[in-house]
Structure 1
Amino acid sequence: MTIDPATGRSAAGIIRLLDLQPHPEGGFFRETFRDSAQDSAGRAVSTLIYFLLEEGQLSRWHRVDAAEVWHFYAGAPLELKTSQNGKETSVHRLGPNLFAGERPQFVVPAHYWQSAMSLGSWTLVGCSVAPGFEFSGFELAPPAWPFGPDEENRGGT
């Protein structure tokens, strides 16, 4: 059981409390909002999820066909890596300590590759997607992708 030393809360407790389910990219999630307004193609204009990563879990390299805003909520800071072209990466830290370079939100542009991991026991974030998230617009990186989906291949510049 992973317990956050700062809060004394366990990831398992948060997962139960928020009714989170396993996500295909890793971690746990639950969609909390799907806008009833739709674009001209019939797609929700926005969606929102809770997303939790435990220590040692990764949000595997993936991309979506819409802009995604990551929001920090609780737990340890989160490392978010992005890559526009699959060759160079940028590293971003989400968290509450603004003076240590952490930020409470970060926007990943549509079609950018992204991967995340908790920098502690667990991290709870939210992800807003506009237009709304659809699994048909979600792509996991192949195993031979330059940075790979696992921790030892997180690579970057």
Structure 2
Amino acid sequence: MRPARTALAITALVTSGLILSPTHARTPGAAASLIARFHMQPVPVEGGWFAQVQRTDETVDGAALPARYGNTRHPVSTAILYVETTIGFSALHRLKTDEVWHFYGGDPVHFLLLTPDGQAREASLDADNPALVVPRDVWQGSAPAGPRGWSFTGTTMAPGFIPQDFEPGQRDVLTRRYPASQRQIAALTRTGPVSP
């Protein structure tokens, strides 16, 4: 989908009331309805469900990108819709590109961000804070923080996402590096198969 069509699709969702409608947000099974409506698929390893709404057909040669991309060709940009739940949360991971998160509805999203210099901070994505930039190389994990038990968000990345840019967090490694965040790390990592 082209960027202009993506923006129009999201605008249509907002104006239709589906995204921020309080009535829809309180409907049991609202997360399942979104997953079905947008034909979302489970996100391997990380958790949650996604639907790709944009992936440019134009690409950037790996030689033109910083060395961290390993000389691998990337789409110019990508955008997804994302639903996470208290069980299908976004497990700690890091990316090679800044990720811009957008809030569309459901519960606020609570983030744990672990920086390369050993710092930990928390952030929220919600109606009052509808966008959040997670810088590259920052460990990020998130989960809905509210009574509904689900959140509807989206992310954009440039250069666009490819699977090789994703690194899952390991509970024991992260706990050693960020001992003061042990409880949050345990809550945002998995030891078994992903349950979206």
TM range (shorter): 0.7 to 0.9
- Secondary structure at the aligned position of 1:71 is classed as strand
- Secondary structure at the aligned position of 2:59 is classed as coil
Structure 2 unaligned segments of length 5 or more: list them.
Answer: 1-20, 63-72, 176-181, 190-196
Q: Which amino acid aligns with 2:135?
A: P
Say whether 1:140 aligns with 2:176. no
Instruction: Say if 1:152 and 1:22 are closer, same or farther in 2 by CA, change over 3 A.
Output: closer
- Secondary structure at the aligned position of 1:16 is classed as helix
1:1-157 alignment runs, 5 A limit? 7-9=25-27, 10-24=30-44, 25-41=46-62, 42-85=73-116, 87-96=118-127, 98=128, 103-120=129-146, 121-144=149-172, 145-146=174-175, 147=182, 150-151=186-187
Query: Of the two, which has the highest radius of gyration?
Result: 2
Displacement of 1:47 in angstroms is 0.3
After TM superposition, the score normalised by the length of structure 1 is: 0.83
Instruction: Say if 1:52 and 1:152 are closer, same or farther in 2 by CA, change over 3 A.
Output: closer
Structure 1, 50-59 or 65-74: larger mean CA deviation? 50-59
- Secondary structure at the aligned position of 1:31 is classed as strand
Structure 1 runs of 4+ aligned residues shifted over 6 Å read: none
**CA–CA distance in 2 between the matches of 1:74 and 1:113?**
24
Per-residue CA deviation, residues 106-157 of structure 1 (Å, 9 max, x unaligned), is 111111110010112210000101110010110001131214754177xxxx
Decide whether the 8 Å contact of 1:72 with 1:125 is kept in 2. Answer: yes
Structure 1, 52-61 or 13-22: larger mean CA deviation? 52-61
CA RMSD of superposed structures (Å): 2.2
Structure 1 unaligned segments of length 5 or more: list them.
Answer: none
Decide whether the 8 Å contact of 1:141 with 1:149 is kept in 2. Answer: no
Displacement of 1:40 in angstroms is 2.4
**CA–CA distance in 1 between the matches of 2:188 and 2:165?**
27
Displacement of 1:43 in angstroms is 1.1
Instruction: Give 1 or 2: higher helix fraction.
Output: 2
**CA–CA distance in 2 between the matches of 1:70 and 1:152?**
18
Decide whether the 8 Å contact of 1:58 with 1:150 is kept in 2. Answer: no
**CA–CA distance in 1 between the matches of 2:88 and 2:77?**
27
Displacement of 1:14 in angstroms is 1.0
Instruction: Say if 1:39 and 1:152 are closer, same or farther in 2 by CA, change over 3 A.
Output: closer
Percent sequence identity over matched residues?
30
Instruction: Give 1 or 2: higher strand fraction.
Output: 1
